[in-house]
Amino acid sequence: MTLTIDRTLKELTRLTFSREYNYLEGPHKIRGKSGKKWIFDALIKNTNSDKYGVFVRDWKREISITQLRQLHKACLDTNMSGGILVCNYISEFSRDYSKQFGIQLLSRGEMISILRNRQIEI
């Protein structure tokens, strides 16, 4: 399989997670315990049936703390096991902050590196 770096962030996310997990491309609208509807760009299920909500933010700027908080709230409200936020740029502050909430952050570059390590040509 040949990839180009020009792939969209959603495509890279699917390729990164679909090999090892059950990747359910969205959008998925899920009503939480609070009654609020949350929209996830994808859902990931592992072999233990744990479910993770995914936000994909294809922005030309660093991810904001607000997005991290939103994903955290959405995961808690919908009984997700955790959350994954995929974006183009990550600041060290955001990375540190995400650890407090148990949110995994992945950048475009990190996903490309993961795919290359799996012997997928980019």
pLDDT digits (tens, 9 = 90+) for 62-94: 888 888 889 999 999 999 999 999 998 888 888
Please compute, for residue 31, the number of CA atoms within 13 A of its CA located in the half-sphere on the CB side.
1
Q: Where are the domains of the chain?
A: 9-117
Return the H-helix or E-strand segment holding 112.
helix 108-117
Residues in the chain: 122
Please tell me the predicted confidence (pLDDT) of residue 120.
60
| pTM for the whole structure | 0.83
- Decide: 55 and 41 in contact? Cβ < 8 Å: yes
Question: Which two tokens mark 3?
Answer: 């990839």
CATH architecture of 9-117: 3-Layer(aba) Sandwich (3.40)
